[in-house]
Chain A
Amino acid sequence: MIVGVATEISYALGIILAGFFVSLILSFKI
């Protein structure tokens, strides 16, 4: 169960990270 919770939290963090990269790329005015 604990590993399951950690896996799900990692997935959520992955989404957050991917969103941040999109913002970062845009800020470079590419």
Chain B
Amino acid sequence: MIPRPDIEDVKAIGYYLGKIILSLSATMVVPLLLGILLGEFSPAMDFMVGIEASLILGLFLTKICFTENDLNWMQGMIVVSLSWVVAMVLAAIPLYLSGHWLSFMDACFDTMSGLTTTGLALVQDMDHLSYSHNLWRHLIMFIGGQGIVIVAVSLFVKGFSGALKMYVGEARDEKILPNVIHGSRFIWLVSVVFLVLGTIALGVTGIVNGLKPFNAFFHGACIFMTAFDTGGFAPQSQSVLYYHSLAYEMITVIIIVLGALNFKLHYHVWNGNFKEMVKNIESRTFFVSILITFSITAVGLHQTGIYPQALVLFRKGFYQLISGHAGTGFQTIYAQQFLSDWNNLALAGMICAMALGGAACSTTGAIKMIRVGIIYKALRQDIKRIILPERVVIVQKFHHIRERFLNDKMVRAALMITLAYLALYAAGAIIGMLCGFSFLESLFESTSAAANVGLSCGITQAGMPAALKVTYMMQMWAGRLEFMSVLTLAGFIVAAVRGK
């Protein structure tokens, strides 16, 4: 028998959801101020409407659902799950009002894509979007990458004793520091240090490449935010191809790799434990996985003969590969070129890379390196069991911050989530095929959405079927939250309807 949720459950969920909405409205002030400073008064009004809507809903929820109770695990998971949906709708208001999206659903698609750091976009005439709207697109990616809860925890420290439960719900199951609030602040420290360094590097490169100083630093800040948070939005419709600069591409690759690393690894390396970089199971698996998937892609591209020179093959093939593997989605080729210029082998390498993703407790989506590493270690352990005599006790260890012994519970958890991701990729691909697209392009786009990558082979555009838009939005949401929060919400709804 499932117990029906009581009024206290609803009040706790509503109260904390209200606080998160209030913090979202606070972040809308940034593009509003930019709009006023640059004289973009019409876009600034769009943000005023967005802030008002968020304030009304946030204040209403915090007043009507006021409670002093802490969140329990179930409530924490549901707050996280709902906050991403509510944030999607509210963040879409200023975008839709700009007139650059054909429908409110298209604007919601882009905000979900932004919040989940995916990077698929349905925006029209992006190259003429106002600075404030463009900043908002990139800012929501930064907020989503950091984690909406992290943003809320950082803004509303007092009374957030249920923070840990939401922190875990947001697929950050590894605590960087014993205190969640300190953990959140460390995430901000790393991000701000790299934000300054990355923006300067990209800004200067932009000026050298002929951009005006304001544009160079505006693009630099936007590109940094979406590269470090492995998002993939770019200020221009041609993505990173717009800059035609090898230096720009190299800098973005470095930022992407840094963003794909575990924040716990950042913490230990920044505190003097440099060997961790080489010994850590995730950084090792990431390195090997990139080399294997790139080799597959490179052999495929070599077969086509489209990039005959090593540097060109490296520049085009490696950039898309690393962008896909780390879940970013920057492109230096046009979307249609994946189908017209690349062969099946090259695309298979790309799909494998996208499906694997970066490190856990980073801003990437997908299966993640720790799970791949654990499954590999478990396979090794099983092979040893078969080869060695039965009386031999086989102990398998791996290094993640400290030496750990592999146990069945870890392997089970890693396999469960991996299977769930594979099912999600397959489900999206089947719906894509139902809408009339080929197997490979459906699988490519579905993996890109569910793994929060954002590379597109051309399916994602405003004219695509509405069913596919909703499918990709659901995939982005479930993929970013790693299923648990979403499944808890589904269980809560079932309990509310059928519980006793």
Q: Using Cβ atoms and an 8 Å threshold, which residues of chain A touch B295?
A: 22
State the CA gap A3–B274 with chains docked (Å): 8
Task: Give the residue name and chain of the B residue nearest to A20 (CB).
Answer: B314
State the CA gap A12–B259 with chains docked (Å): 10
The answer to the question of B375 belonging to the interface, with a C-beta cut-off of 8 Å to chain A, is: no
Q: Using Cβ atoms and an 8 Å threshold, which residues of chain A touch B277?
A: 7-8, 11
A27 and B270 form a contact (CB under 8 A): no
A12 and B257 form a contact (CB under 8 A): yes
Query: Which chain B residues numbered 286 to 302 have a C-beta less than 8 Å away from chain A?
Result: 286-287, 290-291, 294-295, 298-299, 302
A5 and B193 form a contact (CB under 8 A): yes
A1-30 contact mask (Cβ, 8 Å, vs B): 1 or 0 = 101110111011111101110111011000
B298 and A7 form a contact (CB under 8 A): no
State the CA gap A15–B193 with chains docked (Å): 22
State the CA gap A9–B257 with chains docked (Å): 9
The answer to the question of B266 belonging to the interface, with a C-beta cut-off of 8 Å to chain A, is: yes
CB distance from B499 to the nearest CB of A (A): 49
A4 and B313 form a contact (CB under 8 A): no
B274 and A18 form a contact (CB under 8 A): no
Beyond A1-B270, A9-B254, whether A23 also contacts B311 by CB under 8 A is yes
A26 and B290 form a contact (CB under 8 A): no
The answer to the question of B318 belonging to the interface, with a C-beta cut-off of 8 Å to chain A, is: yes
B298 and A26 form a contact (CB under 8 A): yes
A12 and B258 form a contact (CB under 8 A): yes
Candidates A3, A5, A27; contact of B310 at CB < 8 Å: A27
CB distance from B487 to the nearest CB of A (A): 34
State the CA gap A1–B189 with chains docked (Å): 11
A8 and B266 form a contact (CB under 8 A): yes
B290 and A15 form a contact (CB under 8 A): yes
A8 and B313 form a contact (CB under 8 A): no
A26 and B313 form a contact (CB under 8 A): yes
CB distance from A25 to the nearest CB of B (A): 8
State the CA gap A15–B294 with chains docked (Å): 11
Candidates A5, A14, A15, A23; contact of B314 at CB < 8 Å: A23
Q: Kindly count the residue-residue contacts between A and B in the assembled complex, taking CB atoms under 8 Å apart.
A: 79
Beyond A12-B258, A15-B257, A16-B253, whether A7 also contacts B274 by CB under 8 A is yes
Candidates B250, B283, B321, B322; contact of A11 at CB < 8 Å: B283
Q: Using Cβ atoms and an 8 Å threshold, which residues of chain B touch A11?
A: 257, 261, 277, 283
Q: Using Cβ atoms and an 8 Å threshold, which residues of chain A touch B311?
A: 23
Task: Give the residue name and chain of the A residue nearest to B292 (CB).
Answer: A22
Q: Using Cβ atoms and an 8 Å threshold, which residues of chain B touch A15?
A: 257, 286-287, 290, 322
Q: Using Cβ atoms and an 8 Å threshold, which residues of chain B touch A23?
A: 298, 310-311, 313-314, 317-318
Q: Which of A7, A16, A23 has most chain B Cβ within 10 Å? A: A23
State the CA gap A20–B302 with chains docked (Å): 14
B287 and A22 form a contact (CB under 8 A): no
A9 and B274 form a contact (CB under 8 A): no
A19 and B314 form a contact (CB under 8 A): yes
Beyond A11-B277, A20-B318, whether A26 also contacts B287 by CB under 8 A is no
State the CA gap A9–B194 with chains docked (Å): 11
State the CA gap A8–B312 with chains docked (Å): 26
CB distance from B294 to the nearest CB of A (A): 5
Q: Using Cβ atoms and an 8 Å threshold, which residues of chain B touch A20?
A: 310, 314, 318
The answer to the question of B197 belonging to the interface, with a C-beta cut-off of 8 Å to chain A, is: yes
Q: Using Cβ atoms and an 8 Å threshold, which residues of chain A touch B193?
A: 1, 5
State the CA gap A5–B258 with chains docked (Å): 9
State the CA gap A26–B272 with chains docked (Å): 38
The answer to the question of B309 belonging to the interface, with a C-beta cut-off of 8 Å to chain A, is: yes
Task: Give the residue name and chain of the A residue nearest to B197 (CB).
Answer: A5
The answer to the question of B464 belonging to the interface, with a C-beta cut-off of 8 Å to chain A, is: no
Q: Using Cβ atoms and an 8 Å threshold, which residues of chain B touch A24?
A: 310, 314
CB distance from B462 to the nearest CB of A (A): 35
State the CA gap A12–B110 with chains docked (Å): 30
Candidates A13, A18, A19; contact of B254 at CB < 8 Å: A13
B294 and A19 form a contact (CB under 8 A): yes
Q: Which of B291, B299, B310 has most chain A Cβ within 10 Å? A: B310
The answer to the question of B102 belonging to the interface, with a C-beta cut-off of 8 Å to chain A, is: no
CB distance from A3 to the nearest CB of B (A): 7
Q: Using Cβ atoms and an 8 Å threshold, which residues of chain A touch B294?
A: 19, 22
Query: Which chain B residues numbered 301 to 326 have a C-beta less than 8 Å away from chain A?
Result: 302, 308-311, 313-314, 317-318, 321-322
8 intermolecular pairs with C-beta atoms under 8 Å apart: A4-B270, A9-B258, A13-B254, A14-B287, A19-B322, A23-B298, A23-B314, A26-B298
